[in-house]
Copies of this chain bind each other. A is one copy, B any other.
Amino acid sequence: MPDTDVEVGADVAAKEKMVLIAASGDLDKAWPVLILATTGAAYGMDVTVFFTFWGLGILKKPGVGLVGDDWRQKMLSAFKKGSPGGLQLSTLNFGGLGARMMKDLADDNKVASVQELLDLAQQMGVRLWPCRMTMDLMGLQTEHMIDGLDRPAGAGAAISLMKQAKISLFI
Contacts and interface: CB of A to CB of B under 8 A. Distances in A.
A99 to B, nearest CB: 12
Contacts of A42: 156
A45 B92 contact: no
Copies of the polypeptide in the assembly: 3
Nearest to A68: B105
B92 A109 contact: no
B166 A106 contact: no
Q: What secondary structure prevails in chain A residues at the interface with B?
A: helix
A42 to B, nearest CB: 7
A63 to B, nearest CB: 21
A105 to B, nearest CB: 5
Interface residues of A, number: 52
Given A43-B159, A45-B159, A169-B169, 20 more contacts: A18-B159, A23-B28, A23-B29, A23-B171, A32-B52, A36-B155, A36-B159, A39-B155, A40-B159, A72-B105, A75-B101, A76-B92, A80-B91, A80-B92, A105-B137, A111-B137, A162-B166, A163-B167, A168-B168, A170-B171
Interface of A: 16, 18, 21, 23, 28-29, 31-32, 35-36, 39-40, 42-43, 45, 52-54, 70, 72-73, 75-76, 79-80, 91-92, 101-102, 104-106, 108-109, 111, 133, 136-137, 154-156, 158-160, 162-163, 166-171
